[in-house]
């Protein structure tokens, strides 16, 4: 017979903590937990109180990461680490980030309640500053945790709403920017046996497929050109024949259409890829209904789990832009690119999550993560890492995020035995799961 632990009381613990988070960081509509701001600090306090109430050791490091530990028998062993971020976008939903921290604590709750002392530490992290809307840097909190930020980041990054530096905001929260300035790691990757990040799905896939959970295969990396442009020539819309035109808008649209066709072919061949031109704009100072557009500004956001494919598409863009430019008498300037590396999830951890799901009779699927997550920082350091997505209605980064209690329960039924296995914990038999 399968070893199972009762998870209903831990579901109640999770729902109670999520309710407190929603109530105490409310900013109608939704919640606001600004990175290194008041709402994030409140979320940290509530998570810490909940962790202390179940007997976990609680501390904050110098850059403000919450470390809540359920001590194991052999404290010299690297810990099993679960975590996510506790900040939100302005007027965001209650679950993006917080659900992962709450689930980590609920797993500790379940182990504690069953009287289990794990072989090694279970460490639950509340990570700072993941949402890029506040400071325009990806994975800010997890990179600070591992000493990976540029050393000038504390003094050059400014919060979008206040204009104040990261250092000023940290000091307002009684935190210390010195480790960032010195590139000091506050968690040694060698002390992390593995990292798990439960997170709500931010797209519609699980809702549309009727499944509560997904095991993430990888976090897509990105190639972005936020400030690309096309330069042609303005001309009279009636007087200039086709052959004499240097239409920047048509050339830009031709490139984006060609990219769309290339994407469709690659996807049909099984590639993991998403492409977006989120900005497409003629110049309002010069454009007019009666003018051939001489300039176009556009952006490209291209994401894949496959780093080689991103590099190949970068080359394809150059070649295709040069061809279209020659055909249409215009010049493409892509401007400076930004890159994030794809992060593949650990095969062993994925298998452990799938096995726990099968054992608990919870249906799951595999899927790629299109959004970036702190888990990519851990995976980038060579730490075996995995993510579990929870079904969520209405997308995310908005007040309508909806994660239902039965899906939180499904996640606990999978995560509690999976984490117990990773911890080397012996589970007691229980009558109900």
The binding site for Zn ion (CB under 5 A) comprises: 96-97
Query: Cα separation of 111 and 79, whole Å?
Result: 15
Least distance to Zn ion, CB of residue 192, Å: 20
H-state helical runs in 345-432: 347-359, 375-380, 405-423
Q: What are phi and psi of 26, to 5 degrees?
A: -60, 140
Nearer to Zn ion, 132 or 233 (CB): 132
Nearer to Zn ion, 177 or 372 (CB): 372
Query: Cα separation of 153 and 103, whole Å?
Result: 31
Least distance to Zn ion, CB of residue 96, Å: 4
Nearer to Zn ion, 96 or 121 (CB): 96
Least distance to Zn ion, CB of residue 404, Å: 18
Least distance to Zn ion, CB of residue 126, Å: 13
Least distance to Zn ion, CB of residue 327, Å: 43
Nearer to Zn ion, 94 or 217 (CB): 94
Query: Cα separation of 260 and 252, whole Å?
Result: 12
Largest Cα–Cα distance of the chain, in whole Å? Answer: 84
* Residue in this structure with the two tokens 């506050």, named with its chain if needed: 186
**Any bridge partners for residue 402, and if so which?**
393
DSSP 26: B
Nearer to Zn ion, 97 or 104 (CB): 97
358: Cβ contacts below 8 Å, ≥ 6 apart? none
Least distance to Zn ion, CB of residue 142, Å: 11
Total H helices, total E strands in the chain: 13, 17
Query: Cα separation of 359 and 357, whole Å?
Result: 5
Rounded-to-5 percentages of helix, strand, coil across the chain: 40, 20, 40
* Residue in this structure with the two tokens 């980064």, named with its chain if needed: 397
Nearer to Zn ion, 97 or 198 (CB): 97
Nearer to Zn ion, 97 or 433 (CB): 97
Nearer to Zn ion, 17 or 129 (CB): 129
Strands 295-304 and 221-231: antiparallel
Nearer to Zn ion, 133 or 240 (CB): 133
Nearer to Zn ion, 82 or 230 (CB): 82
CA 162, 164, 170, 171 torsion-angle sign: negative
Least distance to Zn ion, CB of residue 98, Å: 9
Least distance to Zn ion, CB of residue 212, Å: 19
The token duo for 133 is 């809307």
Q: Whose CA is closest to 198, among 48, 34, 19, 403? A: 403
User: Do residues 343 and 304 touch, judged by C-beta distance below 8 A?
Assistant: no
Least distance to Zn ion, CB of residue 254, Å: 36
Nearer to Zn ion, 33 or 159 (CB): 33
Neighbours of 412 (CB within 10 A): 26
Neighbours of 413 (CB within 10 A): 24
The DSSP-derived string for 151-193 is: TTHHHH-B-TTT--BHHHHHHHTT---HHHHHT--SS-GGGEE
HSE-up (13 A, CA, CB side) for residue 222: 18
User: Do residues 384 and 367 touch, judged by C-beta distance below 8 A?
Assistant: no
Least distance to Zn ion, CB of residue 144, Å: 16
Peptide bond into 235 cis (omega under 30): no
Least distance to Zn ion, CB of residue 359, Å: 28
């Amino acid at each position: 017979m399968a070893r199972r632990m009762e998870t209903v009381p831990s579901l109640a613990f999770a729902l109670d903590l999520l309710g407190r988070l929603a109530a105490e960081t409310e900013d109608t509509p939704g919640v606001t937990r600004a990175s290194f701001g008041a709402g994030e600090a409140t979320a940290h306090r509530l998570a810490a109180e909940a962790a202390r109430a179940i007997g976990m050791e609680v501390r904050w490091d110098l850059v403000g990461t919450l470390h809540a530990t359920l001590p194991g028998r052999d404290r010299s062993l690297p810990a099993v680490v679960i975590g996510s971020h506790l900040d939100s976008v302005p007027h965001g939903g209650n679950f993006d980030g917080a659900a992962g921290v709450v689930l980590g604590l609920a797993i500790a709750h379940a182990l504690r309640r069953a009287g289990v002392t794990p072989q090694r530490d279970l460490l639950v992290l509340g990570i700072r500053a993941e949402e890029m809307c506040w400071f325009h840097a990806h994975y800010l909190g997890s990179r600070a945790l591992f000493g990976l930020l540029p050393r000038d980041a504390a003094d050059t990054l400014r919060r979008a709403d206040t204009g104040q530096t990261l250092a000023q905001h940290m000091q307002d929260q009684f935190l210390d920017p010195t480790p960032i300035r010195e590139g000091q790691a506050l968690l040694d990757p060698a002390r992390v046996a593995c990292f798990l990040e439960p997170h709500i799905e931010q797209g519609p896939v699980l809702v549309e497929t009727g499944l509560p959970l997904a095991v993430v295969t990888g976090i897509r990396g990105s190639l972005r050109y936020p400030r690309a442009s096309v330069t042609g020539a303005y001309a009279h819309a009636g007087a200039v024949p086709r052959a004499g035109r240097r239409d920047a808008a048509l050339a830009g649209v031709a490139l984006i259409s060609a990219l769309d066709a290339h994407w469709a072919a690659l996807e049909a061949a099984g590639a993991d890829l998403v492409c977006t031109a989120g900005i497409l704009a003629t110049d309002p100072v010069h454009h007019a209904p009666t003018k051939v557009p001489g300039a176009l500004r556009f952006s490209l956001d291209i994401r894949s789990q496959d780093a080689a494919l991103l590099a190949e598409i970068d080359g394809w863009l150059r070649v295709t832009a040069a061809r279209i430019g020659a055909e249409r008498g215009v010049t493409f300037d892509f401007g400076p690119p930004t890159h994030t590396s794809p992060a593949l999830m650990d095969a062993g951890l994925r298998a452990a999550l799938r096995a726990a799901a099968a054992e608990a009779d919870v249906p799951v699927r595999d899927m790629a993560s299109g959004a970036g997550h702190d888990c990519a920082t851990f995976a980038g350091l060579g730490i075996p890492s995995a993510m579990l997505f929870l079904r969520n209605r209405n997308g995310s980064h908005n007040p309508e995020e909806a994660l239902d209690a039965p899906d939180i329960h499904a996640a606990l039924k999978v995560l509690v035995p999976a984490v117990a296995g990773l911890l080397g914990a012996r589970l007691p038999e229980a009558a109900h799961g």
